C-alpha cells in the first residue's frame, strides 16, 4: 500500500523506469509512481532490509526529480509485509506527509495499518509520525527514524537523465 505522490513523476518517469533492473521490470504492469518505488526498493534489498531499501528508493526518486528539474518532493505513507512482519513508513520531503495509523486488532489477533482510522471513534489508534518507520512483529512494536538523506546521492541509474 502506498498513499502519497512522487513530485514531478511525469517529468522523469522514463528515467525512473531505467532504475528498475530487467529481472524486475517484467513485473511492472502499470504506470504508477507506487509501482516504480516498490520495484526500486526490491532492487535495493527490500527482502532483507526493508528500512534501508525503502529509504534508498525514496532518495533515488528524489534525486531523479531534482536532476530533471521537477518538483523534488515525496509524500509517502506505505505499508508492506513479507507475510510474517508488517512494515510501515511515513515521510514527506515538503512537510505534508499523508497520515498513517496502526493498532492491534483483537478480533483477528493481528495488526491493522490504515491511512485513516476506520471508525469515527479513534480509540486505540496510534498515529505514526512523519519521518518514522514502523516494524510490527507479533507483539513487538519498533519505531525507527525514516531518513532517505542518510544515503549519498546515487546516480547509478540516471546517467541518461
pLDDT at 13: 82
Residue spans of the domains in the chain: they are: 2-150
Residues 3 and 77: beta-carbon distance below 8 Å: yes
Q: What is the mean pLDDT of each run of 10 residues along the chain (161 residues)?
A: 80 86 81 88 95 95 84 87 96 92 89 87 89 95 96 61 40
Residues 53 and 45: beta-carbon distance below 8 Å: yes
Task: State how far the Cα of 55 lies from the Cα of 62, in Å rounded to an integer.
Answer: 11
Set of cell numbers at residue 60? 533515488
Neighbours of 85 (CB within 10 A): 15
pLDDT at 56: 94
pLDDT at 153: 65
pLDDT at 50: 97
Check: CATH 3.30.1370.60 for 2-150? no
What is the Cα Rg of the chain in Å?
16
pLDDT at 15: 87
Amino acid at each position: 500500500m502506498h498513499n502519497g505522490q512522487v513530485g514531478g513523476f511525469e517529468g522523469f518517469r522514463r528515467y525512473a523506469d531505467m532504475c528498475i533492473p530487467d529481472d524486475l521490470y517484467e513485473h511492472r504492469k502499470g504506470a504508477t509512481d507506487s509501482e516504480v518505488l516498490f520495484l526500486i526498493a526490491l532492487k535495493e534489498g527490500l527482502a532483507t532490509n526493508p528500512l534501508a531499501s525503502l529509504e534508498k528508493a525514496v532518495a533515488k526518486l528524489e534525486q531523479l526529480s531534482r536532476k530533471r528539474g521537477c518538483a523534488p518532493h515525496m509524500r509517502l505513507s506505505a505499508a508492506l509485509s513479507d507475510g510474517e512482519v508488517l512494515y510501515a513508513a511515513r515521510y514527506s520531503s515538503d512537510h505534508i506527509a499523508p497520515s498513517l495509523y496502526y493498532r492491534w486488532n483483537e478480533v483477528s489477533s493481528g495488526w491493522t495499518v490504515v491511512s485513516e482510522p476506520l471508525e469515527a471513534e479513534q480509540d486505540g489508534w496510534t498515529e505514526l509520525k512523519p519521518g518514522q518507520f514502523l516494524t510490527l512483529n507479533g507483539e513487538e512494536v519498533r519505531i525507527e527514524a525514516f531518513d532517505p538523506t542518510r544515503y549519498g546521492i546515487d546516480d547509478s541509474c540516471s546517467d541518461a537523465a
